[in-house]
Structure formats: C-alpha cells, structure tokens
Amino acid sequence: MNRIDPLETFRIQPSQKISIQYGRKSYEGVAGDTIAGLLYGNGIRVFSRSLKYHRPRGLYSLDGECSNTMMRVDGMPNVRTENTPARNGMKVTAQNVAGKTADTDPMAFMDKLGFAMPAGFYYRTLHKPAKMWPVAIKKIRKAAGLGVMDPDFRIEGYFDEIYPTADVCVVGGGPAGMTAALAAAAPGLRVILMENRPWLGGVFDYRPAAYEGDLPLYQRAAHLARKIEETPNIRVFTHTAVVGNYNDNLVTAFQRGNETDPFDERYIEIRARSIVVATGCIERPLLFENNDRPGVMQVGCAHRLARTWGLLPGRQAVFSIGDDLGLEAAADLSDLGLEIACVADTRMDGQDETLIDALSRRNIPVYRGWIAYKAHGAKQVKKVTIGPLAGVQRQDIECDLLVASAGLTPLTGLLSTRQVELLFDRHTGFFLPAGLPDGIHTAGRMLGFQDSVKIEISGQLAGMEAAADCGFNAPGEIDSIKVRINAFPGPALGSKIVSAPVKGKKTFICFDEDTTLKNIDQAMADGFDVPELIKRYTSAGTGPGQGGIPGHNLPLYVAQTQQSPDQAPRSTTVRAPLIPTLMATYAGTQHDMCKRTALHDSQVASGGKMERVGVWTRARRFAEDTKALAEIKNVRHNVGMLDASTLGKFRIHGPDALKALQRVYVSDMDKIVDGRVKYSAMCNEDGCIIDDGVVLKQGENDYYFTTSTGRAGQTVEWIRYHTRYDHWDFNIVNLTDACGVINLAGPNARKVLEKVTTADVSNEAFPFVGWRDLTLADCIPARTMRLGFVGELSYEFHVPASYTQTLWNILEAAGKELGIQNFGLEAQNGLRLEKGHLIIGSESEQRTTLHDVGLGFLWDRKPDANTVGAVALTQTEHQKDRLKLVGIKMADASAAAPKDGSAIVDTKFQGYICTARFSEALNEPIGMALVKDALAEPGTELNIYEDSCNGQLLKAIVAKMPFYDSDGSRMKM
C-alpha cells in the first residue's frame, strides 16, 4: 500500500504496522488508521450494499453521516468503520450481502426493480389481501436490511459512566470551540470541551491554507490545542459524541475509549450552567445520477484521507463542488499528487479569486456554473458526465474519483433538541437559530462564518458570554469583541443547488434508505408538501445516519420544486441521540444496589434461598421443599427464628408527635397503654389500606412504630406530606436499618429466651402484646415485643444492627438442644395464612379499603384529627358491591392450592385468590381471596379459573377465618 510522504498533518504512525482481516483476507495498515481508511488504502472501494437495491456503496464522508461503511466488526453489526479506529487482529465482514465482502452481491439485481418500489410502497401495496402482508414482510426483511444481530451475541467490553461537573460545556473542538473554552476558562470557571473526532482542531486540523501570514491553519490548531492542554481548568473529552441536550443544560454524550483507556465506551452526563455549541458544518451532498457510486466522495473526505492518513483518494479526479473549500482541496490534493481533470463549480461567481488563480497556476480548469450530471461505472466510478447547469453541453471525463459536494450544512442538532427554532437564511442557505434559550451560545462555522480569524473570535465571544452566565460578566470586553466581529465581511453567499437537472431515478437523496429524488417527487405528487411528512412517507433520513445526508437537501429540494417557491424551506425534526448510541453505553456500569440485613451472610450460610423483596434480599426458605413444610412444622411444634430485619422501624418525637400519628393512623394513639404495643393501620385518602404495624410509647411525646417492609422507604415522606400545611413540631428518625429484628417463635420460644436473659419473661410478667426493653446476654439491648403474626408464642427482638448477628448466634446456641431452626418468608407466609393475618399488598390492592379486609374495627372515629382516609372510610363503610376479604378452602380437600392471583368467576369476574397454600395444620389447601360481597358468606361456593386449567374450573368454598387456633390461645401462652 502506498502512502504519500509524511506530512505534518498526519495522525498516523506509518512505522507501526497493523493488520485486520476483511472477508477471508488479511490487510495491512498503520496505527492511526480507521477500519475503512485501512481498507481503502488496500484498494477496497465497495464497503456495503444498500438497503433496498443492493447497490454498491463506498467511502463518502468520514464522520459517520451515512451507513455506507457500516460493517460487522468482531461480531458487532453496524459498526461505522469510517470513524472506528482499526485495531490489530480485527475481523471485519460486509453486511447485507450474501458473501463476506461487499464486492459481489447476488442480490444486486434488486437495483433493476426500483420501479416496483415507489415512495410509500410499504404503506400502499402488499396489504390486500390481508393474508399477504405477513408473507411479504418476511421476504422484504430478508432482502433488505443492515447488519444482522446474532441472537447469541454478547457485547464484550467495559461500559463506564461519568458525571463530570462543569460550569461551561463547549461542544465542538474546532477553532471556535477551542477559543470559546479558553475564554470561558479565563476567569477560572470549570470548562469541559468535547470533540467527536479523536483530536482537537476541527476544520483547521488538516488544512495547510494560511491562517495569518505564513502560519498554516493546522499549526494554528495545534497551537490552540496546546493552550487548551496547558489550562488546568479545561477538561477535554475527545472521540466523544454529544448525543443530547436537554432542559436546564443537561448534555449527554459518550466517549469511545482508546487502547489505553480502562473503558470501551463511557456514557457522559453533564449539567452545565452554560453551553457553547460550536459544532461547525458538514457537507451538503451534491445530487446527480449515480451520486452514490463508490469513488464519489465529499471534499473533506478526499482531503482528509490524504492530509490526515496519507492516502491519496484516487489517481484521476473530477471535482464538482459548490464551496471554496472544494477549490482549496483541489489545489492541495493536486500538489500531493492527485491528477485533477477539472473542477466544476455550481456557483457562477462569488469564489475566492486567489483560489481560482491557484488552480489556474496548476493548469486545472475551473468551469463556473457547471455540475456533475452522471457518474458511470458498475461498481465504481469510471467516467463522469459534466455540463453547465443551464444548457445542453455535456462532457464525459474518465476518472476514478469524483469529489462532489453541494456546499455546507451547519450541525444544529443540539439546538433542535432544545426546541430552538431554525429559520432558513436566504443568503447562506443555512437553517440558523432564531433566538436561543438562556445559557446557550453558538459560535463558528455553523453561523455561516468562513474567515478563520472571525471563526475564532466568534468562539471567544461565545466563551465570554458563557462566563457571563456564570457570573463573570465583562460587558466592555464583550462589546469590543462584537465590534471586531462586525468589522469582518458577513457570511458568503451560499449555494442552494441540490441536484443537477436530472430525472432522478438513480439520484439518491438518502443513502441509508435508498431514497431517490424520484421518490420525493412521487411523495409530492401524492400530496405531501411538508418535508417532515415527506421524510416519513419516503423514509428519507430515518436510517442510521438520521438527517446526516438528506437533512438539508430535502427541505431545499421540496421548496425549490413546489409551486410556491416563495415559501421558505422548513427543516425536519432532529431528536436525541444525535449519533446512534449503544444500549450497553446507556446502561453503563449497572451497579445493582440492593439492601442486605445484618444476618445476610449467616442466612446464606444456613442454606437460605435468597430472593429480592423490594429493596431487600431475603431468605425465602432453607430447604428444597418449596412449601417449607418442615420449617412450618418446627414453628408450630417447637421453635424457629426468622430474620425480620426488613420491617420498617421509626422513632417519632417532639411536641406534636402524637398529632402526627393521629393524622396517619386510623386508631386513637392517645389510648396506647404503657408497656403494650398497639396494632393499627394507615390508609390513603381513599380509605384504602396501605400499611399496618405496631406503635408503642417509649416516653413523653416519644413513640416507636413499625411499618411493613415495603412501606419503610415512604413512611417519613407520607407523614410529612400529610402534615405539610400544619407547621407542627415533630421529628422522625428512620431506624429501619439501625435495628436488626429477630423473630423467635414457637411454643418453646420462652425456653430459649429464658436462657439468655435474667429478666422475668413469664406470661404474667411479660404478656401477649406487651413490650419490654430487655438486656440479652448481659449486654445486648433488645427491645422485645410479644406479637403473634405467625400465631404462636413469639418474641420480636429489635436490636442494634451491629449486635444482631451476635444475638442470633447466641439464640441459636441456646436453642440448639431444643432443635431450633431457621424459618424463611415462605414458612412465615404459610403460618400467618392459617391465622388469617394479612400482608398488605398480598391481601389488598389499591382499591381495597380497611373495611374490605375486615379491619374496620381499628378505626377510631377521632373527631378533630383529620385522619388520612377517615372521610372515605365514613363514606364507604356500608358501600355495596365491593370485594371483601374471605377465607377459602377447596371443595376437594385433596386438590392442590390454586395459584395466587387466579380469577374467581361465574358469568363474570367476581374476585380473585390473593394467597393460597397447603396448610400444614389443617392438612388441606387454604387461602384468602377478595370476592364480591354477595359471595362472601361462609359456605358459598366459588369457581376458580386458574391459568392453564383448560376450562376446568376449580371449586372452592368460603370458610371462616382464622383457620387455626381461633381463640388465639397459642399466641397468649
């Protein structure tokens, strides 16, 4: 492979060879090459086959504006090889072709069938008869498409995320972005500068044209980049695609890592006080017949291939351009060894005459007002037809490279995503922002500026304005900069030519979607007149490159073609992500934050089958038996221990603590008895039960209460919300994590407890629903409550979390000779079900009131408490046709328990099973269900529709609760 002699503008290390595999062959390149550049240097011209017509496609731009160079790289489909660095050993294959390379494609005949696929054909054809569509869509999908995702493909690499803080965020590392960053950093602000390419420099980076005097632009760019590097408060992110800009200056981006970075890609999110958008311009494609032929490329592409990578883009070239950058590139490329037959410039006048002179010195003819009409050649350009825009003269020129560009188009996506209105400017032909939101500034070429110094000064101004947003206002300096800017000539007249006057059958306005000018004409003939709708109808600009290729041309063409040419072109919508972003990048590091109790490790060591319960990880059971019957039996007949640490636990104190409790609890908390806990519930304003727990009074204006696991996170905010207008003086401390909870339950529980405390824990001294602050094992403080959720003699120890494991071990040792065992959530579930004790969320849903679950007796009609839910409780107390909580047994006691959630039906839905389990105590399935009140009487037969019951309804009978120990004597023993 031949490279041109080293230039100062190179971004490659020619001595460092690398090789990649494309198809079955190995190709050599050098460090710094992109994948597509490396292949181009090896003579590859066809990089892909197009979506619909399987037309050969080649290297066109270099910043990923279209899907032309998308390939499969190391198993990953749709990699933009034109801006992906080549790494040694990469395996690359072509996409949407039958073989491994794009050079030959058996589907190429599709190109001849274009006539059968007019605009909107998806919407209009193949639908009748309806049966045809599923068949057709299969065929279409197979023939068309981009890369194919292997279902087994697992993305490799490390995807990081970072949330750097900044005062000013500058997007675009070209001359304007760099001067903006320097100006914003001058008063000491924290500045972040982000650039899509792997280096700073932008449009200056590769160009030898003079900046001032003899100083070439690329040296000026290097000088600015050095200054940036020397400024400690500017942080630079290169190779970073900015993909979104949201309310209050939230900027999102992702950075591609290089080989020394610890990440492959990282997601970046910045909340800046001010933003400078200096994203510059890309080129507006020039349209003509076969404008997509490999060998046709944009000016910057040809110029940068040579200047940055040392690859001469062809041997014999024709230029068809509409901007001075094309003239400049022609002169420079000619000096680097490219033979240029001629330059066709769509503009009649307005060119920089020094560039015209430079070309004439090199004997390169410039034809003003001329344009390329057609590219010839099957797989790559062999010949070009050029001619004047007005006139019939045509000339064929043999060449292997056609450098074609209609002009420039500003990159305004970051403004569009902030709903900035973009208006067509008749002079430049650009869509320019009409007013910016506070805290956003623009600079550089995107405003139509061309003069190098003016570009830089506009950046400086934007940087100073951004600093002013952050409180460093220098009005005098800003004014004098504005005067300097105005002294420069205004933007040059921009060419608005979109296409040579051709029929447009093979003139592609959008490469990704194979949309031709003819398709656009068809859409307009079908009555679509707004570019946004034409875009949707023809799918132009909806492919991977989004608006990169057709974004500017489509509205220009539509406005020029339509009958009311006075109407200004209207731009199409742009949305984030502006550059396709991997889902893996958005997902980032995915730290899964889950809570563990103080007993987690010992629960796991004891064989606990752990599962996620809300924010917590808990042990569902300890044995293989999913019904956990052994654990249940042990609690019923002996003694077991449960880790109940996830219960919500709170202290509320202060002069108005009681008022706050009265507001949220349905019971009268003024009636709490010393030494006893009070069971109560909280409702929402609809009277629906949302939580239950116990409250105890530990001192004057000082209470301790528990909530269910699921409510622990919301309880403080619930109480504060429902007292928000009252200005009460009370304080809440969330002690959920501060205390571990061990539930010691079973008829032998007292025997275990007596071994670890000297206190009198007899039934007389410490009765049911009492609570005591005990000291266990001589020094562990344990708030101990006698509760009966599982229906046996039971103690609940609330101990400081750091002591919980120690106490657990002590209780385990104390209960060893009795055969104490762990029990988990499943056993607890079965035990409490036998008692008819409900779990909020299992036996209630958001429409279930306190009355519905039979807990209406908890409601004390407190006159002036304004208890949350009380109004609704009054109003719904005797409401008919509600779902009521009932116990059920199966008609056939030997049947299996129905699945939780199964519907109860007759001719219509009558309720559902909340929880049903096999009862160890009753030796038959039992359950709780919410059923229409008409069916709630004990003895009523219910029909249950279970998943996959094949229409065989299960029979159940409403039964009285509790199912077990109806007088509660076992809890009170």
Partner 1 sequence: MSFTLTCPICGPRNAYEFGYGGEDKGPRPDEKDLSPGDWCDYVHMNRCIAGESKEWWIHRSGCGIWFTTSRDTTCNLEVRGKAEEKDANPPLEKE
Partner 2 sequence: MTNKIIRRSPVTFGPKPSTVENRGHWVVALEYEGEGDGPHLIDLSHCPRWDFQDGNLDKFKPVGISIPKQPGICVLSNGTLINRMNGTQAAVWHLSGEATDIPPETGYTDVTDATVFLAIMGRNAFAITEKLSALDLNDPARTPPFLIQGPFSHVPCQIVVMAGDRELPVILLACSRGYAHDMVDAILHAGHEFGLQPAGENVFKKWLEPLK
Q: In this complex, which beta carbon is closest to partner 2, that of residue 223 or of residue 596? A: 596
Q: How many residues bind partner 2 (CB under 8 A)?
A: 53
Give strand pairing partners of 75.
none
Work out what residue 724 binds among partner 2, partner 1, none; the CB cut-off runs from 5 to 8 Å by kind.
partner 1
Give strand pairing partners of 19.
28
Closest to 375 (Cα-Cα) out of 384, 363, 386: 384
Work out what residue 632 binds among partner 1, partner 2, none; the CB cut-off runs from 5 to 8 Å by kind.
none
Contact 181, 463 (CB under 8 A): yes
| Exposed / middle / buried, residue 777 (Cβ in 10 Å: 0-12, 13-18, 19+) | middle
Contact 18, 33 (CB under 8 A): yes
Minimum distance from residue 224 beta carbon to partner 1 (Å): 32
Minimum distance from residue 635 beta carbon to partner 2 (Å): 23
Minimum distance from residue 249 beta carbon to partner 1 (Å): 9
Q: In this complex, which beta carbon is closest to partner 2, that of residue 216 or of residue 614? A: 614
Work out what residue 725 binds among partner 2, partner 1, none; the CB cut-off runs from 5 to 8 Å by kind.
partner 1
Q: Of 800, 854, 962, 968, which lies in the binding site for partner 2, with binding defined by CB under 8 A?
A: 800
Work out what residue 720 binds among partner 1, partner 2, none; the CB cut-off runs from 5 to 8 Å by kind.
partner 1
Q: Of 738, 818, 895, 903, which lies in the binding site for partner 2, with binding defined by CB under 8 A?
A: 738
- 616 forms part of the interface with partner 2 (CB under 8 A): yes
Instruction: Report the helix count and the strand count for the chain, using DSSP H and E.
Output: 23, 51
Residue type, 569: P
Contact 416, 574 (CB under 8 A): yes
- 810 forms part of the interface with partner 2 (CB under 8 A): yes
Minimum distance from residue 160 beta carbon to partner 2 (Å): 7
Contact 597, 782 (CB under 8 A): no
Contacts of 110 (CB under 8 A, 6+ apart): 52, 53, 54, 143
Q: In this complex, which beta carbon is closest to partner 1, that of residue 81 or of residue 723? A: 723
Work out what residue 685 binds among partner 1, partner 2, none; the CB cut-off runs from 5 to 8 Å by kind.
partner 1
Work out what residue 595 binds among partner 2, partner 1, none; the CB cut-off runs from 5 to 8 Å by kind.
partner 2
Cα–Cα distance for residue pair 821/802, rounded to 1 Å: 22
- 651 forms part of the interface with partner 2 (CB under 8 A): yes
Cα–Cα distance for residue pair 89/470, rounded to 1 Å: 48
Q: In this complex, which beta carbon is closest to partner 2, that of residue 188 or of residue 501? A: 188
Q: In this complex, which beta carbon is closest to partner 1, that of residue 244 or of residue 541? A: 244
Token pair recorded at residue 604:
């796991």
- 473 forms part of the interface with partner 2 (CB under 8 A): no
Q: In this complex, which beta carbon is closest to partner 1, that of residue 230 or of residue 592? A: 592
Look at the chain and count its residues. 973
- 751 forms part of the interface with partner 2 (CB under 8 A): no
Give yes or no for a cis peptide into 800 (omega within 30° of 0): no
**What are all long-range contacts of 37-40, with beta carbons under 8 Å and residues at least 24 apart?**
37/62, 37/82, 37/86, 37/305, 37/309, 37/311, 38/86, 39/81, 39/92, 40/305, 40/311, 40/313
- 695 forms part of the interface with partner 2 (CB under 8 A): no
Q: Of 108, 478, 777, 895, which lies in the binding site for partner 2, with binding defined by CB under 8 A?
A: 777
- 240 forms part of the interface with partner 2 (CB under 8 A): no
Contacts of 890 (CB under 8 A, 6+ apart): 897, 898, 924, 925, 954, 955, 956, 957
| In the block, residue with structure tokens 């007899």 | 762
Work out what residue 866 binds among partner 1, partner 2, none; the CB cut-off runs from 5 to 8 Å by kind.
partner 1
Minimum distance from residue 418 beta carbon to partner 1 (Å): 10
Helices (H), 644-800: 657-664, 715-721, 749-756
Contact 34, 42 (CB under 8 A): no
Q: Of 49, 57, 80, 190, which lies in the binding site for partner 2, with binding defined by CB under 8 A?
A: 190
Q: Of 59, 739, 749, 870, which lies in the binding site for partner 2, with binding defined by CB under 8 A?
A: 739
Stretch of residues binding partner 2 (CB under 8 A), selected from 206-214, 377-385, 513-521, 802-810: 802-810
Work out what residue 161 binds among partner 1, partner 2, none; the CB cut-off runs from 5 to 8 Å by kind.
partner 2
- 699 forms part of the interface with partner 2 (CB under 8 A): yes
Cα–Cα distance for residue pair 660/721, rounded to 1 Å: 11
Minimum distance from residue 754 beta carbon to partner 2 (Å): 14
Q: Which residues sit at the interface with partner 1, rule CB under 8 A? A: 246-248, 250, 271, 419, 685-686, 716-717, 720-721, 723-727, 729, 731, 866, 870-872, 875
Stretch of residues binding partner 2 (CB under 8 A), selected from 577-585, 658-666, 776-784, 942-950: 776-784
Helical (H) or strand (E) element with 842: none
Pairing, β 250-256 against β 265-271 = antiparallel
Q: In this complex, which beta carbon is closest to partner 2, that of residue 424 or of residue 808? A: 808
Contacts of 188 (CB under 8 A, 6+ apart): 233
- 816 forms part of the interface with partner 2 (CB under 8 A): no
Stretch of residues binding partner 2 (CB under 8 A), selected from 109-117, 289-297, 451-459, 587-595: 587-595
Closest to 644 (Cα-Cα) out of 909, 379, 829: 829
- 390 forms part of the interface with partner 2 (CB under 8 A): no
Closest to 351 (Cα-Cα) out of 364, 334, 368, 365: 368
- 779 forms part of the interface with partner 2 (CB under 8 A): yes
Q: Of 735, 752, 858, 959, which lies in the binding site for partner 2, with binding defined by CB under 8 A?
A: 735
- 780 forms part of the interface with partner 2 (CB under 8 A): yes
319 DSSP assignment = E
Contact 708, 692 (CB under 8 A): yes
Q: In this complex, which beta carbon is closest to partner 2, that of residue 152 or of residue 592? A: 592
- 591 forms part of the interface with partner 2 (CB under 8 A): yes
Contacts of 362 (CB under 8 A, 6+ apart): 331, 334, 335, 340
- 145 forms part of the interface with partner 2 (CB under 8 A): no
Cα–Cα distance for residue pair 297/286, rounded to 1 Å: 10
Closest to 75 (Cα-Cα) out of 51, 95, 91, 64: 91
Stretch of residues binding partner 2 (CB under 8 A), selected from 169-177, 736-744, 842-850, 870-878: 736-744
Site string for partner 2, 264-303 (x = CB under 8 A): -----x-x--------------------------------
Q: Which residues bind partner 2 (CB under 8 A)?
A: 160-165, 188, 190, 262, 269, 271, 589, 591-598, 600, 615-616, 651, 653-655, 699-702, 729, 731, 733-739, 777-780, 800-803, 805-806, 809-810, 813
